[in-house]
Amino acid sequence: MEKILIRGGTLVTDTGRRRADLLCLEGRIAAVGDNLDADGGAEIVDAGGCFVMPGGVDPHTHMQLPMMDTVVADDFFTGTAAAAAGGTTTILDFVGPDHGQSPLDALAVWRERAAKATIDYGFHMTVSWWGERFSLEMEPLVREHGVASFKFFLAYKNRLMLPDEDLIAGFSRCRELGALPQVHAENGDLIAHLQHKLLSEGVTSPRGHVLSRPPQCEAEATLRAVTMAELLDVPLYVVHVSAAGAAEAIAGAQARGAKIVGETLPGFLAIDESVYADPDFDIAAGHVMSPPYRPKAYQAVLWQALQDGVLSTTGTDHCCFTRAQKRLGQIDFTKIPNGCGGVEDRLHVMWHLGVNGGRLTPERFVALTSANAAKVFNLWPRKGSLEVGADADVIVFDPHRTKRLSAATQHQNTDFSVWEGFESIGAVVHTMAGGRHVFADGDLRAERGGGRYLPRPPFGPVYQGLM
Ligand code: URP
Ligand code: ZN
Ligand code: ZN
């Protein structure tokens, strides 16, 4: 097991910063202090002039996910290697049972797929269908397998969407088990209606994607979901908040005392809906994800919500496809596989736009990229902290180094990037994952199977009112 001494940096957590050295030993943070001794031949990592922070925790990824007649381009190895190159050391991915499939069986399939991950990973379960068997299997999923969060879809009619009565039953079951329900909140009936209307009017291009998913669909579904959670007295996590009306619905419920946690994605803070009007199909389709990118004016609302704590985590919804895969929808926008990449990009984008942009302190950056997700999903302080005894998931971040994001240089397994040409002042220089030096100044040393499965106990901090 590697012994690594990170020397001379400024340690930053979600609560403060200090100049100190940090020793990684046997996969854990073994010591934090001044002038630590490297006796016994530790590898020395010089962090002079750099920030030393917890590795990123990405609470929302989709590796190797079968979707819309294809499979996501990143598998658990390539996707987690890319994550490590971008400073993320933990992902929480979604198990997706087929309709009627036992969720326990689906978990076994995902466990096998994820065994090649190079960083640690845990799972949420998608409630892709509802029935007695699903409800029954939730108990062993939570209590024996550590799958303590379940995502419900209010969108994707005739595929994943559940009616309100199933959402109510599912949220109630989560409450019994201490599991955290999550929602993809868009009104699937309205979207299906608008898709049909647009296609019948001859709108087949990617522009139809954003026209068929107006922000009102997200605002309505978010209000519906948070209302259910509030009345059922269960916490709720709202994934990928993009619309101002959705953030308002969350803020309103929070103000009434409901335990609602909101997540947004870096893309929603910087990319707007004009991308769907690009005459190049590959560019417009490359941005197709749900919810879609929104009017530019919403970005200020989302930043404010991140500053106010209405939104408290950032994920990527990493779900990347190649240009060729996106062409499955060349003559019908509803056939474009939904999703974009970003697991490798999140920290750079959040630092540059957030910290350099004067919107976030470095401490808030840590909260939004690792600590809060670790707390919400009950991995704290093992993840998202720099406490002695925590997993040695640590990044060295040089605030002066410039990094240019591009499909040509990324490790994500696709030929497209929504961040093409984005320049960050500030870059991840080293990534330690579980005490292994997996990214060393441009040298990606990802090892297949180096990651471990993270079971998570129920009744986490959100249930306890600590988040
Ligand atoms: O477009 C997206 N977000 N694709 C991934 C599936 C989902 O909705 O989370
Ligand atoms: Zn979603
Ligand atoms: Zn997703």
Q: Please give the Cα distance from 339 to 167 (Å, whole number).
A: 24
> Residue 304: which region, alpha, beta or left (left: phi > 0; alpha: psi -120 to 50)?
alpha
317 CB under 6 A from ligand 1? yes
Residue 141 pLDDT level (bands cut at 50, 70, 90): very high
Largest CA-CA distance found in the chain, in angstroms, rounded = 73
* Torsion sign across C-alpha atoms 73, 76, 79, 81: negative
pLDDT per position as a tens digit, 190-202: 999 999 999 999 9
Does residue 29 belong to any structural domain of this protein? no
**Among residues of the chain, what percentage have pLDDT more than 70?**
100
Give me the amino acid identity at 393.
D
451 CB under 6 A from ligand 1? no
pLDDT per position as a tens digit, 292-311: 999 999 999 999 999 999 99
- Structural domain for 151, as ranges: 55-379
Report the nearest-CA residue for atom 3 of ligand 1: 290
Residue 1 pLDDT level (bands cut at 50, 70, 90): low
Does residue 151 belong to any structural domain of this protein? yes
Does residue 124 belong to any structural domain of this protein? yes
DSSP character string of 120-170: EEEEEEE--S-SHHHHHHHHHHHHTT---EEEEES-STTTTB--HHHHHHH
CA of 432 to the centre of ligand 2 (A): 30
CA of 16 to the centre of ligand 1 (A): 34
Spatial contact of 341 and 79, defined as CB atoms under 8 Å apart: no
Q: What share of the chain is helix, strand, coil (3-state, %, to 5)?
A: 35, 25, 40
Neighbours of ion ligand 3 (CB under 5 A): 317
**pLDDT at 233 > cutoff 70:** yes
CA of 238 to the centre of ligand 2 (A): 10
Does residue 38 belong to any structural domain of this protein? no
Count of domains forming the chain: 1
Report the nearest-CA residue for atom 5 of ligand 1: 339
**pLDDT at 278 > cutoff 90:** yes
Upstream peptide bond of 163 is cis (omega within 30 degrees of 0): no
- CATH number where 84 lies: 3.20.20.140
Residues 6+ apart with CB under 8 A from 411: 78, 81, 82, 85, 344, 444
List beta partners, residue 398: 427
212 CB under 6 A from ligand 1? no
Which ligand 1 atom lies nearest to the CA of residue 338? 1
Spatial contact of 286 and 262, defined as CB atoms under 8 Å apart: no
Does residue 169 belong to any structural domain of this protein? yes
339 CB under 6 A from ligand 1? yes
pLDDT per position as a tens digit, 33-64: 999 987 778 999 999 999 999 999 999 999 99
CA of 178 to the centre of ligand 3 (A): 22
Residue 262 pLDDT level (bands cut at 50, 70, 90): very high
pLDDT per position as a tens digit, 319-371: 999 999 999 999 999 999 999 999 999 999 999 999 999 999 999 999 999 99
Report the nearest-CA residue for atom 9 of ligand 1: 317
Does residue 220 belong to any structural domain of this protein? yes
Q: Please give the Cα distance from 221 to 153 (Å, whole number).
A: 10
Strands, sheet with 120-126, edge to edge from the N-terminal-most edge strand: 56-61, 88-95, 120-126, 149-153, 180-184, 236-238, 260-264, 311-314
Average pLDDT over residues 387-395: 98
List beta partners, residue 20: 9
Spatial contact of 397 and 51, defined as CB atoms under 8 Å apart: yes
318 CB under 6 A from ligand 1? no
pLDDT per position as a tens digit, 115-137: 999 999 999 999 999 999 999 99
**pLDDT at 409 > cutoff 80:** yes
Answering whether pTM is above 0.75, one says yes
Tokens 């990527």 sit at which residue?
Answer: 316
Q: What pLDDT shows up at residue 467?
A: 87
Does residue 292 belong to any structural domain of this protein? yes
58 CB under 6 A from ligand 1? no
Average pLDDT, the chain: 98
Does residue 183 belong to any structural domain of this protein? yes
